[in-house]
């Protein structure tokens, strides 16, 4: 009999997959309730109220799975759970429709001044001429981020007769055509759109994505929406451009700091706000409860789950053998993701040497989880990696080769679209660790770890010296540096390793140096 603890308030109807199990007992109690019998709990279901940390896990020695009825897992120590072989699952798409609908409601309310008009009528005023609005019909909606929520929003906007221009650097032409949207560079979307809404995850790359420089590109009278994550739009810059009249209005459901009671944006009459309600519908709460309940049931029945946050539990013997290559695969995926900034149609993976003795399909999924990290708005792991690739129209190929490119083992990965191909090869050397040995046509040898800078340049005297001088002038210490070239005086690359991320000013200076072709930050 499995003991399942429901520690937070979760929809009873959503728990039906578990209540219908004959060999499971559902216990609805707080984790600090002495009657909860934590020592004998096999599965734990929580929302955001319960913190699942090391202290709680110590009290639950039998725990096999933690289910978060929602998207975020900030209240769960996933790393500690992984160490203990505890699977963590969530409900990544349970609130997709809810958030898309809320965004659309905010957009319509913003354009028609509904909250402002509502307030005056409640105050017994009748000022019709003060609230003349604008129609959605015929307007261009700019969507930044075309994941599940962005895609659902586009469908609704098209039904209202809007034109859709989108920016998503990882959106392929085929998927854009299927969605019937116009895929453009970010700058072009900003210039063209009458209304701009953001739907990306909050990552170091997207934090402050929309700042003063970007807002300056937009039309006078543009509208902005953020129902995704606070911080994607620079709130200080947003407030300044509302103040000077360039932005006609904004609708915000999320903020950098919540609650946002000291936020100057609250002082503007043409800014409408809600208290992070994107996922707050009865249907969404039922959906997330049902999703995680079904996941827990599948797991307890020894069937695959589709929304695992961490690695599935495995025997120590298998784990020890596959772990070095698992980590190498994920690092190769991360490198590809950060070096290839346009859409990808195909990812081809070739295994050779001793690595072929392992379960390579698991390594392929690990590689894809690294590739999709920070590219899309859902968490991707070894369980849902292939499905995620399929949903985005990316073909995945895996093959075994007798050629190890001169190494005892090798993982070679090519990311392709109709214009270009980018290849990364890595190997794991016993007592030496993982190494990247081939990058974009160049033989090289570097440790895939930490903060890296990948520079393509011409092999001319003084290039390396100029790079070193810029870094030295900014007191930036180079931890390691590797170079590769095809022929003297031709194309070349260098990969530099730092103790901390390179600042924007240093990056810009390096980018402008003579004979530098391109630069990429790589964070591993």
Q: How far apart are CA 304 and CA 70, in angstroms?
A: 20
Q: Are 403 and 352 in contact (CB under 8 A)?
A: yes
Q: How far apart are CA 18 and CA 40, in angstroms?
A: 17
Structure tokens at 256: 């950098």
> Per residue in 242-275, pLDDT tens?
999 999 999 999 999 999 999 999 999 999 999 9
Identify the pLDDT of residue 80. 86
Residue with tokens 């509904």: 114
Domain ranges in the chain with CATH number 3.40.50.720:
2-93+283-301, 95-273
Q: Which residues are catalytic?
A: 229, 258, 276
Residue with tokens 């209540």: 19
N- to C-terminal Cα separation, the chain: 43
Length of the chain: 524
Domain ranges in the chain with CATH number 3.30.1330.90:
316-400+408-523
For 13-51, the DSSP string reads: GGGHHHHT-TTEEEEE--TT-GGG-GGG-SEEEE-SSS-
Structure tokens at 407: 């190494």
Q: How far apart are CA 226 and CA 238, in angstroms?
A: 11
CA-CA distances (angstroms) from residue 59 to 53, 56, 74, 84?
10, 5, 20, 13
| Cβ burial, residue 465 (10 Å; 0-12/13-18/19+) | exposed
For 170-235, the DSSP string reads: T--HHHHHHHT-EE--HHHHHHH-SEEEE-----TTTTT-B-HHHHTTSPTTEEEEE-S-TTSB-H
Span 2-93+283-301 CATH architecture? 3-Layer(aba) Sandwich (3.40)
Q: How far apart are CA 276 and CA 228, in angstroms?
A: 9
Closest CA to 72 of 336, 292, 372, 257: 292
Identify the pLDDT of residue 142. 98
Residue with tokens 């900003």: 190
Residue with tokens 């543009």: 222
Identify the pLDDT of residue 383. 67
List helix spans (H) across 413-488: 463-473
- Residue 426: beta bridge partners? 411, 436
Identify the pLDDT of residue 398. 96
Could you tell me where the beta strands, DSSP code E, fall in 402-450? 409-416, 421-429, 433-439, 442-446
The model's pTM is: 0.77
Question: Angle, nearest 10°, between helix axes 360-372 and 316-339?
Answer: 40
> Sign of the C-alpha dihedral, residues 331, 454, 170, 190?
positive
Which CATH number describes the domain made up of 316-400+408-523? Answer: 3.30.1330.90
> Per residue in 200-250, pLDDT tens?
988 888 999 999 999 999 999 999 999 999 999 999 999 999 999 999 999
Identify the pLDDT of residue 86. 87
Identify the pLDDT of residue 69. 92
Any residues with CB less than 8 A from the CB of 23 and at least 6 apart, and which?
Answer: 1, 2
Identify the pLDDT of residue 431. 87
Closest CA to 184 of 174, 175, 176: 176
Q: Which superfamily does CATH assign the domain made up of 95-273 to?
A: NAD(P)-binding Rossmann-like Domain (3.40.50.720)
pLDDT in tens, the chain (524 residues): 999 999 999 989 999 999 999 999 999 999 999 889 999 999 999 988 899 999 999 999 999 999 999 877 878 998 888 778 788 999 988 889 999 999 999 999 999 999 999 999 999 999 999 999 999 999 999 999 998 899 999 999 999 999 999 999 989 999 999 999 999 999 999 999 999 999 998 888 899 999 999 999 999 999 999 999 999 999 999 999 999 999 999 999 999 999 999 999 999 999 999 999 998 899 999 999 999 999 999 989 877 787 888 866 555 577 678 889 999 999 999 999 999 988 999 999 999 999 999 889 989 999 999 999 878 877 677 767 888 899 889 999 999 998 878 899 999 999 999 889 999 999 999 889 999 999 999 999 999 999 999 999 999 999 999 999 999 998 999 999 999 998 888 999 999 999 888 888 899 999 999 999 999 999 99
């Amino acid at each position: 009999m499995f003991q399942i603890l429901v520690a937070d308030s979760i929809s009873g109807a959503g728990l039906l997959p578990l209540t219908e199990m004959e060999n499971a007992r559902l216990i609805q109690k707080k984790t600090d309730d002495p009657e909860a019998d934590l020592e004998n709990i096999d599965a734990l279901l929580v929302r955001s109220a319960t913190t699942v940390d090391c202290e709680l896990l110590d009290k639950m020695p039998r725990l096999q799975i933690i289910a978060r009825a929602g998207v975020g897992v900030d209240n769960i120590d996933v790393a500690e759970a992984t160490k203990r072989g505890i699977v963590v699952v969530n409900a990544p798409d349970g609130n997709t429709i809810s958030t898309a609908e809320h965004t659309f409601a905010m957009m319509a309310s913003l354009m028609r001044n509904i909250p402002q008009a509502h307030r005056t009528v409640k105050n017994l005023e009748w000022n019709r001429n003060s609230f003349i609005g604008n129609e959605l019909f015929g307007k261009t909606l700019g969507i930044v981020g075309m994941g599940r929520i962005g895609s659902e929003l586009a469908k609704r906007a098209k039904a209202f007769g809007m034109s859709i221009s989108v920016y998503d650097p990882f959106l392929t032409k085929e998927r854009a055509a299927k969605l019937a949207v116009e895929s453009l560079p970010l700058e072009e979307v900003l210039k063209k759109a009458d209304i701009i809404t953001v739907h990306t995850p909050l990552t170091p790359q997207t934090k402050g994505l929309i700042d003063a420089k970007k807002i300056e590109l937009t039309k006078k009278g543009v509208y902005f929406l953020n129902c995704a994550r606070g911080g994607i739009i620079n709130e200080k810059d947003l407030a300044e451009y509302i103040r000077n009249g360039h932005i006609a209005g904004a609708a915000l459901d999320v903020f950098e700091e919540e609650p946002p009671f000291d936020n100057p944006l609250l002082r503007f009459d043409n800014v409408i706000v809600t208290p992070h309600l994107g996922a707050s519908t009865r249907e969404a709460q039922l959906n997330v409860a049902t999703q995680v309940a079904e996941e827990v049931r599948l797991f307890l029945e020894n069937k695959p789950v589709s929304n695992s946050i961490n690695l599935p539990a495995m025997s120590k013997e298998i784990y020890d053998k596959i772990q070095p290559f698992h980590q190498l695969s994920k690092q190769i995926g991360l490198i590809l993701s950060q070096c290839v900034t346009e859409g990808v149609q195909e990812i081809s993976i070739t295994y050779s040497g001793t690595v072929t003795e392992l379960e390579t399909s698991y390594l392929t999924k690990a590689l894809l989880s690294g590739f999709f990290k920070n590219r899309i708005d859902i968490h991707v792991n070894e369980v849902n990696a292939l499905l995620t690739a399929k949903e985005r129209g990316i073909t995945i190929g895996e093959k075994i080769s007798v050629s190890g490119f001169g190494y005892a083992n090798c993982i070679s990965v090519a990311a392709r679209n109709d214009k270009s191909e980018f290849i990364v090869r890595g190997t794991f050397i016993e007592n030496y660790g993982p190494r990247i040995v081939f990058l974009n046509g160049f033989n090289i040898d570097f440790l895939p770890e930490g903060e890296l800078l990948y520079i393509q340049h011409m092999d001319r005297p003084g290039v390396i010296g100029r790079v070193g001088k810029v870094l030295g002038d900014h007191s930036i210490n180079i931890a390691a540096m590797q170079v590769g070239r095809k022929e003297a005086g031709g194309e070349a690359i260098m990969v530099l390793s730092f103790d901390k991320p390179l600042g924007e000013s240093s990056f810009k200076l390096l980018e402008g140096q003579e004979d530098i072709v391109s630069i990429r930050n790589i964070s591993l």
